[in-house]
Structure 1
Amino acid sequence: MLSCLPTELLFLIVEYVNDQMWLLDLSMVNKQLREICSPAIFETLVVKFTKMGLLNLIKASESPLSRYVRCIRYEAAEILDPMVQYPEIFRSCIYTPDDYVRDWRDTPWRFRSRSISYSMIYAYFCVQARDQQDIIDDGLDTKALSESLPRFIRLHTIELRFMTGLSYPYEWLASQALIDNSFSFSDHFKKLMMSMILAKESGVLIQNFKVSGFYTSFNENKELCKLAEEAFSNIQTIHVLDSPTMLDCFSKLSIPFLRRLELANCWLSISSLETFIQAHAETLRFLHLEEIWLLDSTSEYDHLPWDTGSTDRLLHRLEHIFQLGILSGVTINSRNDGQFEV
């Protein structure tokens, strides 16, 4: 029985287990196992851009469990058009009854074999839009982030995930119901940067920043660049996932302690990567690439992708970057055994 094992061995077992449900079950056995499992169970806190999600963030920051939180994953949703709340506008401009009939006839797979009425679709978007509007009107996201982050004294990683925020089978209506994501995503990014600055001023040392799903650029936004530069003053690792514009944005920032860059699941220009590496040449030493597709800058066609095909082709395109002599280590594509292809 696990509870009979030495405490030191139990800590080792918990440290190497990734199954959250198993840890939860184990923590219910007795008080000792609950105390051993708690740091692993509450290490990552997922925060959704909803009233409930933001209020739970505040509650978590005020609870004894806050001392276990080392990573906050903020799932920033695109903003719904507030007009979806008005039935006449929804019916005439956003998603008409004729659209509904057409979709059922031509693309029934969108409904995931579920019986969903037109009124159910309207009700879903109405509830989501009201929830978001309440957050915006009350400034709840600003309040929750700025008040809570400084309370997580062991926080060292921020994950910012940009997403539609729509659950299935409604996500396919994103293009009709969501407003310009360049505005909503930049607004989310700005508020998080301000909160990270407040956390830093309170002595919280955030060293890792991960971003995914960001497709807009803030290069020309001097205020946002200044905030990001201050928020990143202690950052050592940046992980960019499916966010092709972020590399150019980060190239213009001073990040004095940056040591490692990880890029995954996105198109990449070799010139942009080289610019970033040279911009942070004094400190940047490690680069990891995961499922990267390179843009062929030598093609006569704009944005024609270079089919990497193999790691060898990718290495060939990276030769000039290796010759810069800035990086101490480069890894490419993780393998199941914990090693890398390169």
Structure 2
Amino acid sequence: DVKDLSRTSKSVREACLPCLFHSVEILFSTDGFNGLKSLIESDARYHIVSFTYVVPELLKPEILDFSCFQSQLLTPDNYVEITKEMCDASGKADEYPSYIIIYKALHDICKEQRSIIDKGVDLSVLCSTFGALPRLTEVGMSFCEAIEDDLSPSPFTAGMTTAEDSYEYHLRVVSDAIQSSKNKSAAINTISLSGFDLPYYHVWEVLDLSTLSESLRKLLQSVRVLRLSYSSSPLELLSR
């Protein structure tokens, strides 16, 4: 393992740096951006070739208002109904989080997301990052759910995010950051998208995806190569 090998001595670590920092992954979060700011101030930045940005769905800001949450997003009656259905299916009644635990988890995540967006932290840090990595050629975006862990209350969060709006926002921010770095002679030529899948909708439903399609096209104008994994929607959007 290269990481273990790099701990043997200072000279060995220096030799391992190009391999250790060839690819980095950062999560859209306060901790992620703080770590990224520290990274680009270190010598490791000279070795980064591939950068992956893990972006979650954005929670609706109405979650921050508890009265709105319990009356419109997840009523106590809906919570009881969902829990009962899952208990009947699994036979386990004690493995699901309480209503208040779900709300606190969603509230904390939503509060952090809104703080990042309202202060423009993501755009500011990404602009600085892409312009500070002289060897960077590939930027990846890995789309994920707002909450992904063993205690995820995701079965209870239907309707609390909008995938189209989340995709459009993150695409626009990354596109603007890449364009800003191009003005500083950055050499980013590849975009990779993972997990970019719009929710299923019936053929008779008419969705206005023009803004999302425009954001995707704008992002791709800055690069020559598009790589897709676990993503079917980008090609559908580009064919519109």
Q: TM-score, normalised by structure 1?
A: 0.60
Say yes or no: does 1:47 pair with 2:26: yes
Conservation of the 8 A alpha-carbon contact between 2:23 and 2:51: yes
Gaps of 5+ in 1: 1-21, 253-342
Which amino acid is the alignment partner of residue 174 of structure 2? L
CA offsets 1:302-336 (integer angstroms, 9 cap, x no match): xxxxxxxxxxxxxxxxxxxxxxxxxxxxxxxxxxx
Q: CA RMSD in A?
A: 2.7
Using the alignment, how far apart are the partners of 2:142 and 2:115 within structure 1? 21
**CA 1:24/1:113 → structure 2, altered by over 3 Å: closer, same or farther?**
farther
- TM-fit CA distance, 1:111: 9.0
% identity of equivalent residues: 22
- TM-fit CA distance, 1:242: 2.9
**Could you tell me which residue of structure 1 aligns to residue 156 of structure 2?**
173
CA offsets 1:82-136 (integer angstroms, 9 cap, x no match): 1212222222222222333333322045999745222211110010010011011
CA offsets 1:14-71 (integer angstroms, 9 cap, x no match): xxxxxxxx32222111112211222222222211111221222222122211112111
Say yes or no: does 1:190 pair with 2:172: yes
**Could you tell me which residue of structure 2 aligns to residue 336 of structure 1?**
none
Say yes or no: does 1:199 pair with 2:181: yes
Conservation of the 8 A alpha-carbon contact between 1:218 and 1:224: no
Using the alignment, how far apart are the partners of 1:73 and 1:186 within structure 2? 17
Which amino acid is the alignment partner of residue 121 of structure 2? L
Aligned residues: 227
- TM-fit CA distance, 1:151: 0.3
**Could you tell me which residue of structure 2 aligns to residue 311 of structure 1?**
none
Say yes or no: does 1:224 pair with 2:207: no
SS of equivalent to 2:159: helix
**CA 1:37/1:215 → structure 2, altered by over 3 Å: closer, same or farther?**
same
The one of 247, 252, 257 equivalent to 2:235 is 247
CA offsets 1:138-184 (integer angstroms, 9 cap, x no match): 01111111121110111111111122221232232342321x22122
Using the alignment, how far apart are the partners of 1:186 and 1:66 within structure 2? 28
Which amino acid is the alignment partner of residue 107 of structure 1? M
Which amino acid is the alignment partner of residue 176 of structure 1? G
Structure possessing the higher radius of gyration over alpha carbons: 1
Using the alignment, how far apart are the partners of 1:86 and 1:203 within structure 2? 44
Using the alignment, how far apart are the partners of 1:118 and 1:34 within structure 2? 48
- TM-fit CA distance, 1:248: 4.7
**Could you tell me which residue of structure 2 aligns to residue 136 of structure 1?**
117
Using the alignment, how far apart are the partners of 2:215 and 2:74 within structure 1? 35
The one of 64, 67, 92 equivalent to 2:71 is 92
**Larger relative contact order (C-alpha < 8 A, sep ≥ 6)?**
2
CA offsets 1:251-293 (integer angstroms, 9 cap, x no match): 69xxxxxxxxxxxxxxxxxxxxxxxxxxxxxxxxxxxxxxxxx
**Within-5 A mapping of 1:58-97:** 58-97=37-76
Which amino acid is the alignment partner of residue 188 of structure 2? I
SS of equivalent to 2:40: helix
**Within-5 A mapping of 1:241-320:** 241-250=229-238
Using the alignment, how far apart are the partners of 1:111 and 1:41 within structure 2? 44
SS of equivalent to 1:211: strand
Gaps of 5+ in 2: 199-207
Q: TM-score, normalised by structure 2?
A: 0.82
**Could you tell me which residue of structure 2 aligns to residue 208 of structure 1?**
190
**Could you tell me which residue of structure 1 aligns to residue 127 of structure 2?**
146
**CA 1:176/1:245 → structure 2, altered by over 3 Å: closer, same or farther?**
closer
Using the alignment, how far apart are the partners of 1:192 and 1:115 within structure 2? 36
Conservation of the 8 A alpha-carbon contact between 1:61 and 1:149: no
